[in-house]
């Protein structure tokens, strides 16, 4: 009986490992049992990520990407910077070298195509997995 309990406990523990950044998910708990990762359910099949990263803080399979909000059309960029100097949000997203490094329905792209940039000082890669358009 004790062996059965131990086996069940170890099986549950093994299933509780955190998914990697970019994996599919339905809930935050699917990405990490300690809830330190989020599930973006607005992406096809869900997308495990970390919201609010800083440079070189993401797990090995990911890079920290900053998406910037452009200044409203017709507004001087200098004025925008004075009003709201940091108009960006950061996320740990899966890095890749080609589409083969991303899961189905996702493509490997240069963040610059999305008005974003990798802010890591020593990035693991230069491209990221994002949903196909």
Summarize pLDDT for 2-23 with one digit per residue, the tens.
Answer: 544 433 333 344 344 669 999 9
The C-alpha atoms of residue 37 and residue 29 are separated, in whole angstroms, by: 8
pLDDT of residue 84: 58
**Residue 73 CA to chain centroid, in angstroms?**
29
The C-alpha atoms of residue 64 and residue 53 are separated, in whole angstroms, by: 6
pLDDT of residue 82: 63
Summarize pLDDT for 75-109 with one digit per residue, the tens.
Answer: 676 666 666 555 679 999 999 999 999 999 999 99
Q: Kindly list the distances between the CA atom of residue 44 and the CA atoms of 30, 34, 97, 118, 130, in Å, as whole numbers in the listed order.
A: 15, 23, 21, 22, 10
Which band of pLDDT confidence, cut at 50, 70 and 90, is reported for residue 68?
A: confident
pLDDT of residue 86: 55
Of residues 1 and 71, which shows the higher confidence score? 71
Give me the residues paired with residue 38 across strands.
Answer: 49
Give me the percent of the chain exceeding a pLDDT of 90.
65
pLDDT of residue 98: 96
Give the start-end residues of each E strand in 17-105. Answer: 38-39, 48-51, 62-68, 88-96
């Amino acid at each position: 009986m004790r062996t059965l309990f131990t086996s069940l406990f170890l099986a549950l523990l093994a299933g509780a490992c955190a998914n990697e950044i970019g994996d599919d998910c339905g809930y935050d708990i699917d990405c990490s049992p300690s809830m330190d990762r989020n599930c973006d359910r607005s992406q096809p099949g869900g997308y495990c990520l970390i919201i609010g990263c800083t440079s070189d803080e993401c797990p090995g399979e990911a890079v920290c990407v900053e998406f910037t909000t452009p200044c409203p059309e017709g507004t001087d960029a200098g004025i925008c910077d004075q009003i709201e100097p940091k108009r960006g949000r950061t996320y740990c997203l899966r890095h890749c070298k080609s589409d083969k490094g991303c899961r189905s329905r996702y493509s490997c792209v240069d963040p610059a195509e999305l008005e974003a940039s990798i802010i890591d000082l020593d990035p693991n890669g230069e491209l990221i997995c994002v949903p196909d358009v």
